[in-house]
Amino acid sequence: MKRAFSCLPFILCFCLRLFFPRQTLLGAKTGLMLWFFTLLPSMLPFLILSSLFVHLEVLEKLFGRGASFWRRAFGLSPQGTYALFMGIFCGYPMGAKVTADLYRGQRITRQEADYLLTFSCHPGPSFLSAYLCVEILGREDVTGWTYLVIYLSSFLCSLMFRPSRRRQSVPETPAVSAPFRENLKKETSASLSLGEALDASILNAFLSITKLGGYMILFSVLQSFLKTWLPAVPCIRYPVLGLMEITTGLSALSQSRLPFSLLYILTVSFTSFGGLCVAAQTKSMLADTDLSLIPYLKGKLCCLTITLALTFFLVEVVKVIV
């Protein structure tokens, strides 16, 4: 019964595809173009390099010297700090991807992986400056304030979920699924050559980027149906679109007649949350581990709340953004 119920969304999607081919085609084209022209060139090189770094065990050399600082500032090991920085600079869902790779390779504990998922997934700087501030808002002058709000919200969120030092010191043994155990031994072996590591990294990167593209296309199709069927009521239409998929959701918001103050608060908050599409992409990055999506969702809801408060303060109280 449970399995039959889980198939209902796929049956519904199949029926929509048959009876509404125009909306399906439009949504699929939009998602495919976003993936091919935006996600693929911006993320694939970072996915390959990140996986290569993990395979060659060079993370300790990159962040090892500042281990005490990383633990005091962020509550993270040097390896966990690498996942955080990749999440910041590369954007969704790179933080989750690196966290899962480190956990599979037994470089971080389950506790640190769960903690990282609460605040290591961010929109990338290029997305914030080029797409959100310039293309959507048309205000390059708010880029600095947007960086401040997004990353300060994430840091404050990390403080709320940070485990105690006593609990952090307890060792844990990461668990991986059976199909990955043999690959794990090979990938983490000291005898792994540069060529083998590069081959494994390229295959891993293309598998991940293909998954992301599939989710982007599916959610773009769903977004196309929602745009057609949702009532033209701003308080219903724009929150649903914004929380579903941020790229097309922000585009729909930019076409509204909302005042800039409200538009800024909504777009930055939705960007901070990431949308259900990013949540699905994050879940796919955690495949073949026992890591749960729950810490990620808790962190994103916390970050959304903090971002709403900070943007409201900047726009309505101190009025630095007008």
- pLDDT tens string 276-294: 889 988 998 898 899 999 9
pLDDT grade, residue 255 (50/70/90)?
confident
Please, what is the angle between helix 294-312 and helix 143-161, to 10°? 130
What integer pLDDT is reported at residue 185 of this predicted model? 45
What integer pLDDT is reported at residue 29 of this predicted model? 86
**Mean pLDDT, rounded, of the chain:** 81
DSSP 202-216: HHHHHHHHHHHHHHH
What Å distances lie between residue 64 and 34, 57, 98, 162, 206, CA to CA? 37, 12, 17, 21, 29
What integer pLDDT is reported at residue 7 of this predicted model? 61
CB 263 within 8 A of CB 306: no
Is the pLDDT assigned to residue 166 strictly greater than 70?
no
**Can the peptide bond before residue 45 be classed as cis, meaning omega within 30 degrees of 0?**
no
Distance separating alpha carbons of residues 251 and 249, to the nearest angstrom? 5
pLDDT grade, residue 158 (50/70/90)?
very high
Would the pTM count as exceeding 0.75? yes
Is the pLDDT assigned to residue 38 strictly greater than 70?
yes
Is the pLDDT assigned to residue 313 strictly greater than 90?
yes
Name residue 304's amino acid.
L
